Structure 1
């Protein structure tokens, strides 16, 4: 079993779009996603194309792909990037059959290393839906420190919800 975590290439970003559009209403709700706020596929593709044309020091986001034995099993993304300082990460195991097996924790650990190196970070935050147990466990096991639970609208695709704020520093 070979696990590979690396920068996502532009050609691979369809995995992100397909993941959200193929997720059930229940899965989207667990992530705090409002399906009516998803960008259309063409708009999302265009946003990714523009993102990948931007130098890494100025990017609004950085995406990482997770592969197991050569096949994609998930991804992570970072946004709210202040290069050389801090960013916020997101994590997704796209294959439902692989959830709950500890792979997310190892993928998160490797993603942390990549984010700190590529973005020259001092702090990395993650704020999953407070009721979504799996990412909260994975973050804790990967070395993140619990900061607080509070209500907010975490991003443009989300509704108002309780989130758990985690942080890791280096």
Structure 2
């Protein structure tokens, strides 16, 4: 982190956070989205995207399709992590996003991920947490290794509805390793 005076916290998302998440994607430049393996034209209509996320806020953990954790720096929202492909009690797939460039590449991502992981493992009783970042996006790949995820494999796929065909790196953090590292 750039300063020891920074107060880093995380929390579950609320209805008030939905616009932050939607704005992050819709206000991003084409170049930025390409850097994370996404294409603006593949984003759902803004209102649909909002409704999809909004609909998840009040669901019980067992029924969620998406689950977001908001990252705060000095009490200001600066990013988020979320999981999808949730198989309650078994596995989910994590995504991580720092919203603005000045907050990137300062070690914040690793610190935020460490604070976020307990929410995923506890609330969804996960055995395994996966993450599959775009192979050509170095930041999340470095962050995952730094936090303790294990590299599984690299492969080509279209990882999500907003992504193009690309090489991704698959990482895993097992419940057992999570407990060992973070207890």
TM over 0.5: yes
The range that moved more, 40-49 or 76-85, is: 40-49
d(CA) in 1 for partners of 2:135 and 2:85?
A: 20
d(CA) in 1 for partners of 2:62 and 2:15?
A: 17
1:38 and 2:43 correspond: yes
Unpaired stretches in structure 1, ≥5 consecutive residues:
none
1:86 and 2:91 correspond: yes
2:181 paired residue number: none
Question: How many residue pairs are counted as aligned between the two chains?
Answer: 170
Matches within 5 A, 1:65-84: 65-84=70-89
Give the root-mean-square deviation of aligned CA atoms.
0.9
TM-score with structure 2 setting the length: 0.90
Cα distance per residue 1:65-124 (max 9 Å; x no partner): 000110111100100000111000000010110100000001111111111011111100
1:109 paired residue number: 114
Runs of 4+ in 1 over 3 A off after TM superposition: none
Unpaired stretches in structure 2, ≥5 consecutive residues:
1-5, 176-183
Give the one of 97, 104, 109 matched to 2:102. 97
d(CA) in 2 for partners of 1:111 and 1:152?
A: 26
d(CA) in 2 for partners of 1:69 and 1:54?
A: 29
Give the one of 27, 30, 45 matched to 1:25. 30
d(CA) in 2 for partners of 1:59 and 1:159?
A: 25
Give the one of 60, 65, 69 matched to 2:65. 60
CA contact (8 A) 2:152 2:171 kept: yes
User: How far off is 1:39 after superposition?
Assistant: 1.2
TM-score with structure 1 setting the length: 0.97
d(CA) in 1 for partners of 2:41 and 2:100?
A: 23
User: How far off is 1:40 after superposition?
Assistant: 1.6
Matches within 5 A, 1:111-150: 111-150=116-155
